[in-house]
Amino acid sequence: MPSIRTVAQRAGVSTATVSNVLNARRSVAPELVSRVRSAVAELGYITDLGAARLRSRRSTIAGVLVPDIANNFFATFVSVLEKAARRDGYDLLIVSSSDDPLQEEAQLRTLLTWRPAGLIILPCDDSLPARSIAAAAGVPLVTADRIPDAPEMDTIGVDNRVVAAEVTCHLIAGGRRRILACASLLSINNMRERCDGVAAAVRDAGAGVELEVIEGGLTAAGCRDRLIDRLTTPPTPDALFMLNNIVTLGGLEALAASGLAVPQDVALVGFDDAEWMRVVSPPLTTVRQPIEEMALAAWERLMARVGGDISPPHGVRLACTLQIRQSSGPAQLPPERPLVRCPALEAAVRAS
């Protein structure tokens, strides 16, 4: 493979001139520019960016760490990130933690061996080994999605409490009284916030509404099994709120197995808005997270830090939108006591 010296010799110039032509750093005589370009083309020369990074101490790699690249939510996030990165001249090194804090730390070290300009991390839980390590390495770090409570770093998340309260008010207004909220794991702050939002709305609704929270785990199959157990044990809930895309799938499988009719017997609301959620029957009411906006916001924040921004940590919370479809439609009996106002929601909106 030809090096910059091969190109320089062929063009009859110095390596510095080749570098200057390719990187447009200093002005070079048109004659030499064209000789260099020809040499590059004839030799099929491709710059070694690793060597360039080593010498210039400027990295064009950004590291991305997600819990599971096969999960549609994270894959979409990464896809948006990739386009933004390419636009800005960066390449992405993408690794998965497999939802395991130990692997998260190992993968973070892996990323750092390539000396990225910055890191975007979607942690698997609150343990966040990333923060201290990245800080020690002096690499800018932006955390997204599963962000901790009191951020001492740049974070991009969503208004979990607000939208969870909104969903709950929607269910109660539809006549539901026994709400089952299904988290993946309550060790994830996102999940706790969503449960908080539900609980606040239930509390505001008064004595007639009951709430139960269960953990479905990290796989759809596991969630399905736990949910089938629960649904075959009275009292049966009349509303299911599944708090992420994986448990949403598990919930659908469990309901299909249970023989309960949706939405007549039980209302169903999911989280995330994959395309297939519109083709199940009945079409699924879900919470749409602004994945694209989150990814872009994370990237912009990282670019700002890479560019030298030393302002205090930014904590961004984006709004989710409730996509009402038929799975949360009216129950068999008309609601006895429809609610018009939802104080929990209003309070959450005010606070955000």
Partner DNA sequence: ATGAAAGCGCTAACAA
Partner DNA sequence: TTGTTAGCGCTTTCAT
Contacts with a second copy, residue ranges (CB under 8 A): 1, 44, 46-51, 53-54, 68-72, 75-76, 78-79, 82, 86, 91-96, 109-110, 112-115, 133, 136-138, 220, 249, 252-253, 256, 274-281
Interaction mask 55-84, DNA, x per CB under 7 A:
xxxx--------------------------
The first and second tokens of residue 328, run together, are 């949360």
Which residue, 335, 338, 343, 349, is CA-closest to 204? 343
275-290 as b/e: b if 16+ CB within 10 A? eebeebeeebbbbbbe
Distance CA 317, CA 27 (A): 45
Out of 10, 39, 42, 47, name the contact with DNA by CB under 7 A: 47
Pick the binder of DNA from 32, 274, 296, 349 (CB under 7 A): 32
Find the shortest distance in angstroms from Cβ 62 to DNA: 18
Q: Identify the H or E element spanning 316.
A: strand 315-318
32 vs 173, beta carbon nearer DNA: 32
What is the smallest separation between the CB atom of 94 and a second copy, expressed in angstroms?
Answer: 5
Task: Kindly tell me which residue out of 16, 70, 102, 256 binds DNA, with binding defined by CB under 7 A.
Answer: 16
The three-state secondary structure class of 242 is strand
Q: Does 48 bind DNA (CB under 7 A)?
A: yes
The partner in contact with residue 96, picked from a second copy, DNA, none with C-beta cut-offs of 5 to 8 angstroms by kind, is a second copy
CB-based burial label for 162 (10 Å; 0-12, 13-18, 19+): buried
Q: Which is nearer to a second copy, 279 or 340 (CB)?
A: 279
Q: Token pair of 209, please?
A: 């509404």
Residue with tokens 């649904």: 231
The C-alpha angle with vertex 35 and arms to 29 and 41, in degrees rounded to 5, equals 135
321's contact among a second copy, DNA, none, with CB below 5 to 8 A by partner kind, is none
94 touches which of a second copy, DNA, none (CB within 5 to 8 A by kind)? a second copy
The site partner of 347 among a second copy, DNA, none (C-beta below 5 to 8 Å per kind) is none
Residue 205 Cβ vs a second copy, minimum distance, rounded to whole Å = 30
- CA-to-CA dists, residue 275 to 124, 283, 329, angstroms: 25, 11, 20
